[in-house]
Structures are given as structure tokens and as C-alpha cells.
């Protein structure tokens, strides 16, 4: 009796695993970078390499002039950011990638650090979060996350889906600021940024309100809103050395409640005609609450006069630990 082979039903092959972005294959459960820094914790070995490697080791991966300049600069103060390294003579985006290569070859970083893109050192988890955000966020969300990179947001919308962060970095209109905004939105949250963008997009009027989460403290203190009209500045945790008599140190830092009260007041004034979608307001306030809970802040309350019947109120707060910051500017007329 012959044995028949291949008769009857055969077992079907198991279904193929769903594809995942290339940047998501490593350390899926690793923590995300939740502060606005340009080096993920997993990539801090790049800074360690720059701060501790000998000239001969740096010279293996960088031109001699660049290696010498790094040694000279770190003697005065160790590097704490890629921006500081990039500012060194003979350095820049290409040299940063070479420095990353050296840090990896010398085992200062491992696979958990994906690498440097647009002068931002990303972990595998951060990169995967960026890819997910860009591929799944609504059109309005991407424009809100990239308020000053309209062309970049449009490129991402037209080109998605992306499989890795390199494609996003290479998209037209995406640069260092844009990629950092995307990283922050993906790892910290973007509801507050959407609310800020919505407030700033409202038509100008006599009670105009501006908000920002990316301002420079010294620019504000040096007269961004008119030093000649400054009537008072009540500050806390800010170095006021050399400032005029209008500046006073009140002696204690702000807490989360104070920050939220001023931001809520600015939003209420800006949205007095309910022009902003209610969900954007609610979600933005919730995001603000999450970012400020249990924190302390330095900053100033500044008042400017524009004659007896008009003026500007400027309030800014900066987290003393994470450097998260928010500014509100309210113009008023009686």
C-alpha cells in the first residue's frame, strides 16, 4: 500500500507580523525624553566623549583643529549640550555626526541612542514617538506643532507615512527647530502648544494677547516691549544685577497655581468671543497643569504704560528644574 504524501488540508502559514517603523524596533518600552534638551539621556555619552576623551582619541574622528578647539573649550567649562559643541569653531552638523561616530565606536553610547539628526541627539524611543506623531496626527495638529514651519508641516503631510526619523529630518522645510518641536510634541505633549498657537492666530485688536513657550529671558528683560515705558517689574529667582530701579525681587518663587492663574487669565481674555475650539482650550489647560504640577518657577511680572489709558502686561515663568517656560503678553486699552 502506497503512502500518499501531500493529500488533505495543509496547515496555513502564520500571518505575517505587522510592520513597524524602523526606529521603533529598539527599546520600545524605554522612557521618553520629557524635558526640552538637545541630548536624550541615552545619548549623553556623546557629551561625555567630548568632555573626557584625549586629543589623540578625538583626533581619530575629527580634524585636528576641531579636536583642539574642543579641548580648549572644555577646559573652561564642560559641554552640557550639542548647541555648545556646534558653536565651537570648526564644528557644525557634519562634525557632530563624526563625534557621534566616535562616541559609538569608543562605546560611550549604544543602540539605545539612535543618533544625531538636525543637531538633536535622539534615543530610539524618542525617534519612534516622532514617527508615530507625524504619521497619525491630524493636519491641524501638525500645523499647530510647527507654527513657524508651514512648509515643513505641509511636506510631512504630503509625504507620510514615514518609516524612520531620517525621512522626517530630510523633508523639505524641516530643520533643527522643527525637529525639536516635533520631538517635544511627541515626548512631552502638544496640547499646550496647540492652545498657544490658537491664541496667537486670533485677529489683532486693542486687547491683543500673545503667548510663547520659546522665548529668551534676556530679550524680555532688555526691552522687548519698550524699556522707556516700563513702570514696574516684580521678579522672582531672576538675576537683576545691573537692572534699573523698576526691577524688584519679591523674594519667593512662583508655584503651579500662580502660573496657571496667569495663563488662564490670558486665555480667557484672548478667547472672550469663544473663537477657539473648546477642546483645544480644555486640553491645553490640562497639559499646562501636568507640566506645572509640583514645580517651582522663576520669572517676572512686568507692566508697561502707553499713556494714561493703555499699556502692556508681560508675565513669564521658567521652571527652575526642567526649563519649561511660558510667556503671556496682554495689551489693554481703556
In the chain, domain spans: 22-187, 191-333
Higher per-residue pLDDT: 316 or 225: 316
- Whether residue 291 is predicted with pLDDT greater than 70 in this model: the reply is yes
By C-alpha distance, which of 106, 120, 105, 118 is closest to 43?
120
Average of pLDDT values for 311-332?
A: 90
What would the pLDDT profile of 163-184 be if each residue is shown by its tens digit?
999 999 999 999 998 999 899 8
Q: What is the mean pLDDT of residues 290-310?
A: 89
Q: What is the pLDDT of residue 197?
A: 84
How many angstroms separate the CA atoms of 273 and 268, rounded? 9
pLDDT score for 28: 46
Q: What is the largest CA-CA distance in the chain?
A: 111
Q: pLDDT digit string (tens) for 127-146?
A: 999 999 999 988 878 887 88
Of 306, 303, 308, 334, the C-alpha closest to 207 is: 334
The contacts of residue 312 (CB under 8 Å, 6+ apart) are: 225, 226, 229, 303, 304, 306, 329, 330, 331, 332
Is the pTM higher than 0.75? The answer reads no
| Cross-strand partners of 296 | 255
Query: Of 95-104, 239-248, 305-314, where does mean pLDDT reach its minimum?
Result: 305-314
Torsion of CA 248, 254, 258, 263, to 10 degrees: 80
Amino acid at each position: 500500500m502506497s503512502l500518499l504524501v501531500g493529500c488533505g488540508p495543509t496547515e496555513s502559514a502564520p500571518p505575517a507580523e505587522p510592520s513597524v517603523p524602523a526606529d521603533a524596533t529598539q527599546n520600545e518600552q524605554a522612557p521618553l525624553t520629557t524635558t526640552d534638551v538637545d541630548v536624550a539621556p541615552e545619548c549623553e555619552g556623546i557629551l561625555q566623549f567630548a568632555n573626557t576623551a584625549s586629543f589623540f582619541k578625538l583626533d581619530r574622528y575629527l580634524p585636528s583643529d576641531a579636536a583642539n578647539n574642543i579641548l580648549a573649550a572644555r577646559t573652561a567649562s564642560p559641554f552640557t549640550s550639542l548647541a555648545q559643541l556646534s558653536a565651537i569653531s570648526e564644528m557644525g552638523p557634519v562634525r557632530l555626526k563624526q563625534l557621534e561616530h566616535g562616541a559609538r565606536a569608543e562605546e560611550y553610547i549604544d543602540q539605545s541612542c539612535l543618533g544625531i539628526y538636525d543637531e538633536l541627539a535622539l534615543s530610539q524611543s524618542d525617534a519612534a514617538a516622532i514617527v508615530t506623531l507625524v504619521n497619525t496626527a491630524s493636519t491641524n495638529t501638525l500645523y499647530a506643532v510647527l507654527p513657524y514651519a508651514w512648509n515643513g508641516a505641509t511636506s510631512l503631510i504630503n509625504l507620510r507615512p514615514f518609516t524612520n526619523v531620517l525621512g522626517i529630518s530630510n523633508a523639505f522645510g524641516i530643520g533643527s527647530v522643527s525637529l525639536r518641536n516635533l520631538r517635544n510634541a511627541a515626548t512631552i505633549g502638544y496640547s499646550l502648544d496647540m492652545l498657544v498657537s490658537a491664541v496667537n492666530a486670533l485677529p489683532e485688536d486693542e486687547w491683543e494677547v500673545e503667548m510663547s513657550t520659546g522665548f529668551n529671558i534676556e530679550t524680555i528683560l532688555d526691552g522687548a516691549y519698550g524699556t522707556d515705558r516700563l513702570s514696574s517689574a516684580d521678579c522672582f529667582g531672576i538675576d537683576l544685577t545691573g537692572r534699573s530701579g523698576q526691577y524688584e525681587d519679591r523674594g519667593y518663587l512662583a508655584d503651579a497655581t500662580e502660573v496657571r492663574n496667569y495663563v488662564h487669565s490670558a486665555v480667557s481674555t484672548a478667547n472672550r468671543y469663544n473663537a477657539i475650539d473648546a477642546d483645544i482650550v480644555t486640553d491645553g489647560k490640562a497639559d499646562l497643569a501636568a507640566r506645572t504640577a509640583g514645580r517651582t518657577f522663576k520669572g517676572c511680572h512686568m507692566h508697561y504704560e502707553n499713556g494714561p489709558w493703555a499699556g502692556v502686561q508681560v508675565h513669564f515663568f521658567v521652571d527652575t528644574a526642567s526649563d519649561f517656560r511660558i510667556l503671556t503678553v496682554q495689551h489693554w486699552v481703556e
